[in-house]
Amino acid sequence: MASYYELLDVAPTADLDTIKHAFRREIARYHPDKVQHLGAEFQQMAAERAATLTAAYKTLMDPALRLDYDASLVGAPAVAAPPGPAAPPAAAATPPPPTVDSRPTPPAAGGDPASGRHRFEDERLFRDSIMSRATTDHVRQAVADALGPSDDAAVKGFDLVLVPRGGGGLLRAATPMRVLVRIARVVDGPLASEAWSAAARARLHLTGAPICVLLVGQAIAPAEEISAAIAQQRARQIPGTPKELAVVPVDIRDWTARIPKDAPAAVRRLVDRLQKWG
């Protein structure tokens, strides 16, 4: 079973500010607004994880409780800390959990090997499964609203590929836009380059339909970096590349998106629906 330090992804020596920041980051991933579109099983898992994170936060923020907890980890009785300068009465009280911003903050890049953070892959996989399920369900709703019913397709390198069936309204083209989704922690230049190339070779555009690639992440690299990566790919002139191929970085925290100036109108319509459902 993961320790409280592992749950919050902090070192056992972390100070109170680090613990508070980690709690805010982790609890936001399981906010009800982020899992409301998931099935009952996922919602229950998220609620249980949120309760465990809150217990971890309260324990590690209280000096006495933390001392007892640390002792329990090594199987030794708690040893009272040597007396020090008297603290103000308010300092001894356990602070209430901070107000949580429902938007998750980007995790720090890499990690500190000394803290053992890279050992907690099961925790990251759990978080990623929640994020992936919530994202794909969210995009499905937006596509259905903007482009009508769609079928799933499989394209290597993407987490979700939707092919709308077309028809059904004045705003829905006979050969509607294909939507490809890649979910990542960080959306940067290398990811944009890889996704653009994979979409260009996917051969989903043989009917003349435009392609929209949604790169959904918790952190977005500077626009200049992503634009430069896409420009390099365009310059390669991959045979069969569709005339309309838009790569759109999307910030999962609030579903804001960077829409290319030359993107088809359908892309803007889809992003509008993403933000509506967000």
Q: What is the pLDDT of residue 161?
A: 94
The yes-or-no verdict on residue 121 having pLDDT over 70 is no
Region 16-33: mean pLDDT is 85
Q: Which residue has the higher pLDDT, 173 or 32?
A: 32
Average the pLDDT over each of 21-35, 102-116, 122-136, 241-255 and give the range with the smallest value.
Answer: 102-116
What is the percentage of the chain residues whose pLDDT exceeds 90? 35
Region 70-87: mean pLDDT is 60
CA distance 27 to 91: 24
Q: Which residue has the higher pLDDT, 204 or 145?
A: 145
CA distance 210 to 194: 18
Q: What is the pLDDT of residue 1?
A: 63
The yes-or-no verdict on residue 87 having pLDDT over 80 is no
Domains and CATH numbers, the chain: 4-95 (1.10.287.110), 131-277 (no CATH)
Q: What is the pLDDT of residue 181?
A: 96
Q: Which residue has the higher pLDDT, 126 or 222?
A: 222
Task: Quickly count: other Cβ atoms within 10 Å of residue 142's Cβ.
Answer: 24
Q: Which residue has the higher pLDDT, 207 or 123?
A: 207
Q: What is the pLDDT of residue 35?
A: 67
CA distance 275 to 254: 7
Tokens of 124: 């990251």
User: Confidence band (pLDDT; 50, 70, 90) for 90?
Assistant: very low
User: Confidence band (pLDDT; 50, 70, 90) for 27?
Assistant: confident
The yes-or-no verdict on residue 89 having pLDDT over 60 is no
CA distance 250 to 258: 7
Residue-wise pLDDT tens digits, 176-202: 889 999 998 899 999 999 999 998 888
Q: What is the pLDDT of residue 119?
A: 39
Q: What is the pLDDT of residue 133?
A: 78
Region 260-267: mean pLDDT is 90
Q: What is the pLDDT of residue 79?
A: 47
Region 142-152: mean pLDDT is 91
User: Confidence band (pLDDT; 50, 70, 90) for 253?
Assistant: confident
* Nearest in space to 256 (alpha carbons), one of 223, 210, 209: 223
Note the Cα 17 to chain centre separation in Å.
23
User: 3-state DSSP helix/strand/coil percent for the chain, to nearest 5?
Assistant: 45, 15, 40
What is the percentage of the chain residues whose pLDDT exceeds 70? 70
β-strand partners of 180: 161, 213
Q: Which amino acid is at 30?
A: Y
Residue-wise pLDDT tens digits, 35-57: 666 667 667 777 888 888 999 99
